[in-house]
Chains A and B, each alone.
Chain A
């Protein structure tokens, strides 16, 4: 759905741009291709890495480790799993809901969701191409720590 909107918007912009200045539009497309080609090898590698990780870490395994009674250890494990996996949101939220219904703890789920969305260990090769290793490292570390802050506050606010 969001994809369709994105495509429609880009198509309209592209047409408008072409009508206004065909040469500029051509330059824009050339730049688009060049920057894509630059990053393609990292993308391909990351995709395969994600495939391997997701096949090894299935929801049953994740659920068994991060139950409601798993405490700090479970929270750490959830945050680590969230950090290394790269699950699209429309898969992650229902999975999280399912885990939650099956006894996973709120704090653990919050840590998992938060680090899943903000930390990207497998995309570090891509990120550091853009921002350099140091900034990439610190951005991911601070986001990882922040996941615990989120989990803690959510446990305090929403926990029974």
Chain B
């Protein structure tokens, strides 16, 4: 078996790519062996999340593909680029807040925005908005925890996201820009 994988580099990269998945799979197996009830519960949750993922992922990625093909770079630079100012910030907030689905859906979209020339602090605002000021979630939060709770949280979050985005942009991104853009290239199709 070892010989086979050594002779076959694509097999090796495949194993490497799925290493994390394999580890979690083994952990799930161990959990089930120790406590069958917990294991079955975990498998149930896995099934549930898998269904959720299977529902959210296809439209998000198709949207990405379409965005990539149809939106010219100049448009993105104009609306969210270096000199987009307040307009870019507002747009980043709106884009993130209008989104549906878990945070991991935001990363591939952020990647495309980056590739098309959006300003990095706007991308961070987009991520922040996606994570916590989503409109559907806000409505849900109001009904579950009351409007005082939801509105107070929203009012703290908006400046909070802007401050965090600004700090990350200033202290991390400026130093790491090359690495981040290397990553984009690696993820490129």
Contacts and interface: CB of A to CB of B under 8 A. Distances in A.
A47 B46 contact: yes
Contacts of A94: 144
A123 B66 contact: no
A64 interface: no
A62 interface: no
Contacts of A54: 42, 45
A70 interface: no
Contacts of B86: none
A74 to B, nearest CB: 18
Nearest to B145: A97
B85 interface: no
Counting chain B residues whose Cβ lies within 8 A of the other chain, the interface size class is 35 or more
B164 A143 contact: yes
Interface string A144-160: 00100110011001100
B107 A130 contact: yes
Q: Is the interface of A mostly helix, strand, loop or mixed?
A: helix
Interface of B: 17-18, 20-21, 23-25, 27-28, 31, 38-39, 41-46, 49-50, 52-53, 55-57, 59-66, 68-70, 100-104, 107-108, 110-111, 124, 127-128, 131-132, 134, 136-137, 140-141, 143-145, 148-149, 152-153, 156-157, 160, 164, 167-168, 171-173, 176, 179-180, 182-184, 187, 189
14 contacts: A5-B100, A27-B69, A28-B69, A39-B108, A41-B20, A44-B21, A47-B50, A52-B42, A93-B141, A110-B153, A118-B132, A131-B183, A146-B164, A154-B153
